[in-house]
Amino acid sequence: MKSCWWQKSNVLILLSGFLGILITCLLLFYNVHLQKRGAIERGVASTWTMAGVAASETERIFYGIEQVYTGIRSFLEGEGGSLPPHDPKVRQMLDVWMEANPFLMDILIVDGLGRVKHWTGPADPPVVRDRDYIDAHFRDPTLDIFVGAPKLSRVHTGQWFFGVSRALRDSNGAIDSIYVAVIRLSHLQQRYTSIEVGPESSVVLLDYAGAIYTRVPDPGLYVGKKISRAEVLPAGQKGLRGVQKVSPLDGRERIWSMRPVPGFPLLAAASVTENEVFRVWRRDSQNLLLVAIVFSLGIAGMTFFLIGLQRRQDRTTLELERLASTDSLTGLTNRRQFMSLCRYEINRARRSKSPLSLIMVDLDHFKEVNDNYGHDAGDQALVAVAAILKQNCRISDTAARLGGEEFALLLPETDRAGAMISAENLRAEIESAEIRVGSHLIPLTVSAGVSPWRKEEDQIHPSLSRADSALYHAKWCGRNQVCSDVEVQNDVPRSS
CATH number at residue 189: 3.30.450.20
Q: Are residues 276 and 363 in the same domain?
A: no
Cis peptide leading into residue 217 (ω within 30°): yes
- Residue 28 scores a pLDDT above 50: yes
* Residue 33 pLDDT class (50, 70, 90 cuts): confident
Q: Are residues 71 and 209 in the same domain?
A: yes
* Residue 5 pLDDT class (50, 70, 90 cuts): very low
How far is the C-alpha of 423 from the C-alpha of 436, rounded, in Å? 23
- Residue 2 scores a pLDDT above 50: no
CA–CA–CA angle 426, 431, 432 (5° rounding): 100
Q: Are residues 104 and 239 in the same domain?
A: yes
Cα radius of gyration (the chain): 30
Out of 66, 405, 429, 487, the active site residue is 405
**Residue 373 structural domain:** 335-487
Half-sphere exposure of 466 (CA within 13 A, CB side): 17
In a domain, 300, yes or no: no
Give the CATH number for residue 341: 3.30.70.270
In a domain, 463, yes or no: yes
How far is the C-alpha of 234 from the C-alpha of 257, rounded, in Å? 13
How far is the C-alpha of 342 from the C-alpha of 360, rounded, in Å? 14
Which of 73, 136, 78 is CA-nearest to residue 109? 73
How far is the C-alpha of 210 from the C-alpha of 189, rounded, in Å? 18
CA–CA–CA angle 458, 463, 468 (5° rounding): 150
* Residue 81 pLDDT class (50, 70, 90 cuts): low
In a domain, 180, yes or no: yes
Backbone angles phi, psi at 213, to 5 degrees: -90, -40
- DSSP label at residue 171: T
In a domain, 324, yes or no: no
- Residue 495 scores a pLDDT above 70: no
Q: Are residues 359 and 467 in the same domain?
A: yes
> Region 45-56: what's the mean pLDDT?
89
In a domain, 211, yes or no: yes
| Single-letter code of the amino acid located at 293 | I
Who contacts 443 (Cβ-Cβ below 8 Å, separation ≥6)? 435
Q: Are residues 276 and 356 in the same domain?
A: no
pLDDT in tens, 399-457: 999 988 999 999 999 999 999 999 999 999 999 988 887 778 888 999 999 999 999 99
Helices (H), 249-365: 274-294, 297-325, 335-352
Of 280, 311, 346, the last residue of a domain is 280
Q: Are 223 and 215 in contact (CB under 8 A)?
A: yes
pLDDT in tens, 302-322: 555 555 555 676 677 666 666
How far is the C-alpha of 491 from the C-alpha of 496, rounded, in Å? 15
Q: Are residues 273 and 386 in the same domain?
A: no
How far is the C-alpha of 376 from the C-alpha of 340, rounded, in Å? 30
Which of 131, 129, 126, 276 is CA-nearest to residue 197? 276
pLDDT value at position 386?
A: 93
In a domain, 295, yes or no: no
* Residue 354 pLDDT class (50, 70, 90 cuts): very high
End-to-end CA distance of the chain: 99
pLDDT in tens, 318-346: 666 666 778 889 989 999 899 999 999 99
Backbone angles phi, psi at 59, to 5 degrees: -60, -35
- DSSP label at residue 173: S
Q: Are residues 273 and 359 in the same domain?
A: no
Of 264, 280, 296, the last residue of a domain is 280
- Residue 26 scores a pLDDT above 60: yes
In a domain, 152, yes or no: yes
How far is the C-alpha of 11 from the C-alpha of 464, rounded, in Å? 79
Q: 359: which strand partners?
A: 409, 450
Q: Are residues 239 and 361 in the same domain?
A: no
What H or E segment, with its residue span, contains residue 383? helix 375-391
Q: How many of the other CB atoms lie within 10 Å of CB of 6?
A: 10
Calculated CA dihedral for residues 369, 372, 376, 378, nearest 10 degrees = 0
Q: Are 266 and 207 in contact (CB under 8 A)?
A: yes
pLDDT value at position 496?
A: 42
Q: Are residues 133 and 225 in the same domain?
A: yes
Antiparallel, parallel or unpaired: β 482-484 and 446-452: parallel
How far is the C-alpha of 470 from the C-alpha of 486, rounded, in Å? 8
Of 213, 246, 280, the last residue of a domain is 280
Taking the CA atoms of 311, 317, 321 and 323 in sequence, report the sign of the dihedral they define: positive
- DSSP label at residue 230: G
Q: Are residues 361 and 261 in the same domain?
A: no
Q: Are residues 158 and 247 in the same domain?
A: yes
Q: Are residues 263 and 117 in the same domain?
A: yes
How far is the C-alpha of 178 from the C-alpha of 166, rounded, in Å? 6
In a domain, 430, yes or no: yes
Domains of the chain: total? 2
* Residue 97 pLDDT class (50, 70, 90 cuts): very high
Active site residue 405: yes
How far is the C-alpha of 366 from the C-alpha of 184, rounded, in Å? 49
Which of 122, 66, 125 is CA-nearest to residue 97? 66
